[in-house]
Structure 1
Amino acid sequence: MTETPPPRRARAEIDLGALRANVRTLRARVAPHAQVMAVVKADAYGHGALPCARAALEAGATWLGTATPHEALALRAAGITEADARVLCWLWTPGDPWAAGIEAGLDMAVSGLWALREVVEAAREADRPARIQLKADTGLGRNGCQPADWPQLVGEALKAESQGLVRVTGLWSHLACADEPGHPSIAAQLDVFRTMLEYAEKAGVEPEVRHLANSAATLSLPETYFDLVRPGIAMYGVSPSPEMGTPGDFGLRPVMSLKASVALVKQVPAGHGVSYGHHYVTEGETRLGLVPLGYADGIPRHASGRGPVLVGDRVRRVAGRVAMDQFVVDLGGDRVEAGAEALLFGPGDRGEPTAEDWAAAADTIAYEIVTRIGGRVPRVYLNESDG
């Protein structure tokens, strides 16, 4: 049987070899003190949760992290067992499937008493203790328990543990400004976290893991490593922020390349409007190339007139507005044929733009660029086998 050729219209090529190498680089950075949790929320930041989870585990990650319980349960349903990896999910809402999480052996984050009550009730019904991790709000101001409420949450969790209803497996928090080197909130949050850890452990909590470090902290703040680090965007070879450096500065390689085939090339006269609103008008006679990707595919409309694309051997800019399904580039006098490759972003090996370049063009962050690439764009996996 012959392999199905990759789609020509558009595709996101996902280099699993690069992902494995990134995980190994991150493991080496935190060894021997900390384990690595591979964060695969939001469909692995747009890269494909299951293939990326499996590749990360092959490279030595021992935990997986998701935002929602449904993401975590999908990993278990796909065959990633408790023996393969612990899975932590942290964004729960009232009425979420706690019982299913218990049965699947998930580690479930608890940030408040309402969540503890729901998971305890589910554990009673399941007749099996729930694995829970208490999350502290050390200053980010999103999810997590405030320091003032921490004693009550810890006390109630220990009470449930003494009744055999839960096992408190982790204590953790999240940093607000780890991607801004030297920001005063980093030291302040670290101090609060240590204080809250000390309180919980003196009260009797014996966690399997304590963790605080996201990608930025994993790359730059060894004092935040504790027992486990949680790299997300770094695992996919994207820098947490331009201020910190490029992926290459940390020995990381971008995993996703976004490509399309030029759908049409045509000659137009000077003064010809391009795309909605005619925000771009040709200065002279020129060739226009049509790229069959648009904001329905995740191409940011905010990058209209600015988004960079490698066509032929030159980087061009989006001419006029990005539409729902397509955008245009001005090819000038270059001889480009329909079917030629348009490379929106990749590792940069060929001089092509990177996800960071698109982020700059759209006034956003590279996280959003890779995560927003929609389901209409097929993922094509490269280097699926390790070695």
Structure 2
Amino acid sequence: MRTLISEATAREEDKARRRREKLTAFVREEAAAQGFDLCRITGSDSIPRAPERLGAFLADGHHATMEWMAETRERRADPKVLWSEVRSIVMFGLNYGPEEDPRGILEKPDKAAISVYARNRDYHDIIKGRLKEIATRFAARAGEDVKVFVDTAPVMEKPLAEAAGIGWQGKHTNLVSRTHGSWLFLGSLFTTADLLLDKPEDDHCGSCRACLDACPTAAFPAPYRLDANRCISYLTIEHKGPIDAEFRPLIGNRIYGCDDCLAACPWNKFAASASEMKLKAREDLKEPEIAFLLTLDDPTFRTFFSGSPVKRIGRDRFIRNVLIAAGNSGDASLVERCRELADDPSPAVRGMVIWALKRLMPADEFLRFAQKRLLEDEPEVVDEWKLAGVA
């Protein structure tokens, strides 16, 4: 009797193994068919240190004003809290590598630097659509439940991608791949199916600190730790209020995000440029002129950045960033464009006009401008006049 039971158990185990192998092969084939460069699988319990690390990040206040990170803390730190039935997590990587070092534009103060990932279509839309295609076909094949996530859900994609073997979290806290460097978009498929798991990737940073040294604002208090309060990507994208005067000169001409720590990574020598046309930079977003961007009102902003992630921050926050770049340019020809924005409906824009003009105009000319403008205004605009030393 025991022999019969053992044989039956062995048959069931072999059947389950073959099912795992077939479903794993199927999801990898689907990933390749949808154009993903990497596809690896991990378990739902593969990031046990995530709660502790996330807790320390939040306790230090390094999430800045991103309160949603604290609000979703429990779900973010543990995939099973997000979805109790998940067993396997499939991680996908899509290469968006640039054709050249994106830091070259930083030497062109009359141009505006937009982060590589935002120079064409919004990657959320591209990846989400492809993941839904995979999920539909996988669910039909496996008879299992699935959920797909791309960045906006409370999922710690980088630790999961590391656990799945796609890459490792470098000292700049971003994912690094031995085959694609720092330029990977990530997406995930959660499923109740039991799949074959891949091995985690080891950390290959060694003694290198190129990414840490490259940061213009010293946003890394230590290796593997990021303080968003000092990060240019956070300041130009997520931060809604006036940007602290300490950081404005350091931002340079970066008007949406920052690629410095990513571009500095030596592993990028193995990276290829993106093959997906929707992720290749639009010609008009490679080196847009600051003078042109300053002319964008809300309708033209929305039209110009249609389909781009830049559109998400809104015109006023965007122009705030462009005015900082204008102030850093040293280009006096931008004075008139800046002055035209002095009557802008947005106090965020008017306030940054003051800072830009203070840097671009001769002192006596700026004082005359100030004397005509010093009226009661919103507090943040008054604060800018005080900062300029004329209120």
Same-fold status (TM-score > 0.5): no
If the length of structure 2 is used for normalisation, what is the TM-score?
A: 0.22
Pick the structure with more strand per residue.
1
If the length of structure 1 is used for normalisation, what is the TM-score?
A: 0.22
